[in-house]
Amino acid sequence: MQHCIVRLIGGVCLALMLMSAQVRAEDDQPRTAKKQAVVKKKVQKGKAATAKATKATKATKGARKKSSAASEKKPVAKPPKVAEAPAPVSKPMAVVKEFRSWSNPDYTRIAVTLDHEARFEYHQLGQNRETGIPGRLYLDIGNAHVGPGVKDIPIADGLLKTARIGQFRPDTVRVVLDMESIKDYKVFTFSDPYRILIDVRGERRMEISSLRERIESAPSLPPPAKEPAVEKPLRPTVAKAVPVAIGKIRRVVVDPGHGGHDPGAIGAGGTREKDVVLAIGLKLAKRLKEELGLDVVMTRSTDVFLELQERTAIANQVGADLFISVHANAAPNRASAGIETYYLSLAKTEKAAQLAAKENGTSLEKVSLLQAVLFDLMVNYKINDSAHLAEVVQKELHHKVDVQYPVKSLGVKQGPFYVLVGATMPSILVETAFLSNEKEEQRLRDAQYQEMTADGIMEGVRAYIVSQHQQSAYVRQGDTGR
Ligand SMILES: [Zn+2]
- Name the E strands within 299-404: 322-329, 339-344
DSSP assignment of 415-454 equals E-BGGGTT--S-EEEEEEEETTSHHHHHHHH-HHHHHHHH
Average pLDDT over the chain reads 71
Can you give the pLDDT at residue 416? 66
Task: Please indicate, yes or no, whether the overall pTM of this predicted structure exceeds 0.75.
Answer: no
DSSP element (H, E) containing 392 = helix 383-404
Domain range 94-201, CATH class: mainly beta
Q: Could you tell me if 431 and 258 are in contact, meaning their C-beta atoms sit under 8 angstroms apart?
A: no
Can you give the pLDDT at residue 317? 81
Q: Could you tell me if 246 and 294 are in contact, meaning their C-beta atoms sit under 8 angstroms apart?
A: no
Q: Could you tell me if 21 and 309 are in contact, meaning their C-beta atoms sit under 8 angstroms apart?
A: no
- Distance from the CA of 400 to the center of ligand 1, in angstroms? 22
Report, as an integer, the average pLDDT of 433-452.
Answer: 96
Q: What is the pLDDT of residues 136-193, one digit of tens each?
A: 889 999 999 999 989 988 887 778 888 999 998 889 999 999 888 777 888 888 777 7
Fold of domain 238-475: Aminopeptidase (3.40.630)
- Distance from the CA of 264 to the center of ligand 1, in angstroms? 5
- Distance from the CA of 103 to the center of ligand 1, in angstroms? 27
| Neighbour tally for 296: CB within 10 Å | 23
Q: What is the pLDDT of residues 315-357, one digit of tens each?
A: 888 888 999 999 998 888 999 999 999 887 665 545 445 544 5
Q: What is the pLDDT of residues 387-435, one digit of tens each?
A: 999 999 999 999 999 999 999 999 998 876 666 767 788 999 999 999 9
Q: What is the pLDDT of residues 211-250, one digit of tens each?
A: 333 333 333 333 333 333 333 333 333 333 334 444 678 8
- Distance from the CA of 328 to the center of ligand 1, in angstroms? 6
How far apart are the C-alpha atoms of 448 and 444, rounded to whole Å?
9
In the chain, where the domains are located: 94-201, 238-475
Cα 154 to Cα 101, 177, 322, 444, distances in angstroms: 9, 10, 30, 45
- Distance from the CA of 273 to the center of ligand 1, in angstroms? 7
Q: Could you tell me if 254 and 299 are in contact, meaning their C-beta atoms sit under 8 angstroms apart?
A: yes
For the ranges 9-13, 166-170, 471-475, 478-482, the one whose mean pLDDT is highest: 166-170
Instruction: Pick the range with the lowest mean pLDDT from 9-23, 116-130, 269-283.
Output: 9-23
Can you give the pLDDT at residue 186? 83
Q: Are strands 120-125 and 94-103 parallel, antiparallel or unpaired?
A: unpaired
Can you give the pLDDT at residue 180? 80
Report, as an integer, the average pLDDT of 436-444.
Answer: 96
